[in-house]
Amino acid sequence: KQAFANPEDTASFGKGESAKKYLRTDQDVERVRRGHLNDLENIVPFLGIGLLYALSGPELSTALMHFRIFAGARIFHTLAYLIPLPQPCRGLSWAAGYAVTISMAYKVVKTALYL
């Protein structure tokens, strides 16, 4: 899309005024950026809680169900963000992933308190 947020990124397109036209925001690039930030905000906590959850000794089938639902919800959320699909598709997929993370956190806390 040749849309850059930083002046140093436009160096290969020229200097001065000719490079300034590339310093702009693009609607599609911003949508992907927001989707990526949302993934970071949700996947990073899931990884930490998922590790603790895996160490708490859950049933294998229950753990697989948690991990598969979260992965499916995040993939669907990303597609809903990029296509874009009408709401509440994106919101429901986010809620499904969030509910899985909360469920795993509950199991970790419950296991830790019974020790």
**Domain 26-113 classification at class level:** mainly alpha
pLDDT of residue 13: 66
Q: What is the pLDDT of residues 53-112, one digit of tens each?
A: 999 999 999 999 999 999 999 999 999 988 989 999 999 999 999 999 999 999 999 998
Q: Output b/e per residue, 38-55; b: 16+ Cβ within 10 A.
A: beeebeeebeebbebbee
Q: Is the dihedral of CA 22, 78, 41, 89 positive or negative?
A: positive
Q: What is the pLDDT of residues 10-67, one digit of tens each?
A: 666 666 666 666 667 778 888 888 899 999 999 999 999 999 999 999 999 999 999 9
pTM: 0.80
